[in-house]
Structure 1
Amino acid sequence: MEHFDHSTLTELAALVCGDEPGMKRRAGWELAGFLKRAGWENVPEHDGRPRMLWMEETLKERQEDEAADIERVVLRLADRREYLQQPHDYDAVIARLQDILALEGQRIDYDKNRPFLTDYDADQAPRPQRVELKVAISDLVTDPDLASAVQLRLDEAHICQEHGAYTSAVIMLGSLLEGVLVHAADTRPAATPLPRPARDMRLQELIQHAHTNRWIDQDAKMASDLLRTYRNLVHPLAEKRTRHSADFDTADLCWSTVNAVLNDLAASAP
């Protein structure tokens, strides 16, 4: 890769140190660990100097010897796995990182939730990251047996996704969403009640019921309606009629949908 301008390296050093409000902050003893997670070899230990000065000089020296290591730092900064304990810090970091990279003619994009560097194009938005699930199923479903069944389907959907069984993943996601919405309709007080028992309602009606009672927001409702369409691919004739087979992007979109609905349900819990 081409060398970054020294001012860009200064900005990257600031992101690694994370002293700005809303950024993930790393203490001096954590800096070497970050570089190791980024894939650096022969990582120097922080020598006690001010963190920002040490990181800036370390990046500049390493770029002279191994420019690819700077790309590794960029990609680690953009990797959600670096923010598992502070997920809210990620959005601020990635927004700042994209601004910095744009000046170098590059940007972060994603493939299967993993970041990579590509050329900057002002007319092409990066692939959005998947909405992450922020709650446990047991926090949403009070019936232990039902919670166990829902969690099992969530786990099986992960297995299907990882092994390329995308239609199966979508079907699993649709079924667990329906189960959670039925449970919510049965157990929550509703300003607008259902016209008949929840177990007799279609998924579309359950989604509308959750939205009408402000358990999920408009974005989650619209995305859930799309998930319902994909879930109908359980019928081979529907797949033939639509001439569409679920692929990675289809399943990834459905993951974001289910996670968004579950997050909304948790936030609106009585």
Structure 2
Amino acid sequence: MFPLDSRTADRLAEVIVDMGGSYERKGYQLAELLRHAGWAGPPDYDGSPRIPWLREQLDERRDNHAEIERLLCRVCDPIEYDDGDVTAAEFRAVVNEKLIPEGLVVTLVGGRPVIGELGATDEQPRYSVPPDLRNRLGILISDASAVEMLSRRVEETQVCESGGAYTMAIIGIGSFVEGLLLTVLTERDDDIRSNGFFDPRSQRQQRINHERVSLQLLIDTAHAKDWIQLDAKDFAHRVRDFRNFIHPRKEMAEQPRFDADSVMLCWAPVHAILNDLEQKLGPAVKG
């Protein structure tokens, strides 16, 4: 579990550098990898031995769970490699071997790497609220009241989840995704903040104000701006569809049978969306 033990960090540094191996990373490639993982103020490689250098970077940020998580996911992400999942799968296998003592595992969910927790039998990874979420929101979003509101919704969602109110928990996760994307898009995009959202499917080509924008358009807009990847977009739409069970008529028509596993699977795309936003946008400018 986070923070990683120092010996686990040592082993991961060796895996990532792959000294003398088929996927050996040069110094500049290590620095590039940290940038791709969305590290704030990523260090430049200083020419020192690579494994100790990377180990030092991991140690300096061992308490920054978000950046460590994003780095591990990036190492296992098909988008990082020219041959896609061929190399990514090899790294996932070795990284996961080193993560076993921590009770963690990197898996592809909806095509995106996310970190889950190993169950007691080590068979099925489990997904829950992203680690250190309130702090991560505070870095990504400048509006403190929005951070407080989103954090409160997650806390209430966890109450529903632990109490067996699985439908309401899933609705809560969808609500959180909606609030997160709405806040980030309106804060980070001057045109959206001033003029509202543009829906390319609308025949009237009119802008949609913040009060009327749908979760579907929020997801599509974030992807169109390249703030979330295609796989994250597609899986987010599944969460959106589940969120729509807030309407009793939909639940009566489809009669879903949500359980704890259903809620768990809805947390996975939240990890992917949050990782993508952090990688693409970096810390918010505080006014």
Task: Settle same-fold status: TM greater than 0.5.
Answer: yes
Question: Match of 1:94?
Answer: 96
Whether the 8 Å CA contact 2:118–2:125 is kept in 1: the answer is no
C-alpha separation in 1, matches of 2:187 and 2:257: 36
Question: Match of 1:11?
Answer: none
Question: Match of 1:139?
Answer: 139
Question: Match of 1:169?
Answer: 169
Aligned partner of 1:248 among 247, 253, 260:
260
**Measured at CA, do residues 245 and 22 of structure 1 come closer, stay the same or move farther in structure 2, by a change above 3 Å?**
same
Q: Aligned-pair distance for 1:133?
A: 4.5
**Measured at CA, do residues 89 and 235 of structure 1 come closer, stay the same or move farther in structure 2, by a change above 3 Å?**
closer
Question: Match of 2:210?
Answer: 198
Gaps of at least 5 residues in structure 1 are 1-15, 25-83, 99-111, 119-125
2:241 pairs with 1:229: yes
Could you list the per-position Cα deviations for residues 80-132 of structure 1 after superposition, in whole angstroms to 9, with x for gaps in the alignment?
A: xxxx796567964534688xxxxxxxxxxxxx9552337xxxxxxx5344274
Whether the 8 Å CA contact 2:118–2:124 is kept in 1: the answer is no
Question: Match of 1:116?
Answer: 120
Q: Which moved more, 1:206-215 or 1:161-170?
A: 161-170
C-alpha separation in 1, matches of 2:72 and 2:235: 25
Q: Which amino acid aligns with 1:115?
A: G
C-alpha separation in 1, matches of 2:217 and 2:170: 19
Pick 1 or 2: higher relative contact order, CA cutoff 8 A, min separation 6.
2
Q: Which amino acid aligns with 1:209?
A: T
Gaps of at least 5 residues in structure 2 are 1-5, 16-64, 74-91, 101-115, 199-206, 283-287
**Measured at CA, do residues 89 and 150 of structure 1 come closer, stay the same or move farther in structure 2, by a change above 3 Å?**
closer
Q: Aligned-pair distance for 1:154?
A: 0.9
Q: Aligned-pair distance for 1:251?
A: 0.8
Q: Which amino acid aligns with 1:244?
A: P
2:162 pairs with 1:150: no
Could you list the per-position Cα deviations for residues 184-213 of structure 1 after superposition, in whole angstroms to 9, with x for gaps in the alignment?
A: 221223799633223311100110000000
Q: Matches of residues 32-47 of structure 1 in structure 2 within 5 Å?
A: none
**Measured at CA, do residues 163 and 206 of structure 1 come closer, stay the same or move farther in structure 2, by a change above 3 Å?**
same
C-alpha separation in 1, matches of 2:263 and 2:99: 28
RMSD: 3.5
Question: Match of 1:127?
Answer: 124
Q: Which amino acid aligns with 1:188?
A: R
Could you list the per-position Cα deviations for residues 232-266 of structure 1 after superposition, in whole angstroms to 9, with x for gaps in the alignment?
A: 11122211211213211211111112222122112
* TM-score of the two chains, using structure 2 as the length reference: 0.52
Q: Secondary structure at the match of 2:121?
A: strand
Whether the 8 Å CA contact 1:133–1:259 is kept in 2: the answer is no
**Measured at CA, do residues 95 and 154 of structure 1 come closer, stay the same or move farther in structure 2, by a change above 3 Å?**
same
* TM-score of the two chains, using structure 1 as the length reference: 0.55
Q: Matches of residues 57-72 of structure 1 in structure 2 within 5 Å?
A: none
Question: Match of 2:186?
Answer: 186
Question: Match of 2:50?
Answer: none
**Measured at CA, do residues 129 and 22 of structure 1 come closer, stay the same or move farther in structure 2, by a change above 3 Å?**
farther
Question: Match of 1:219?
Answer: 231
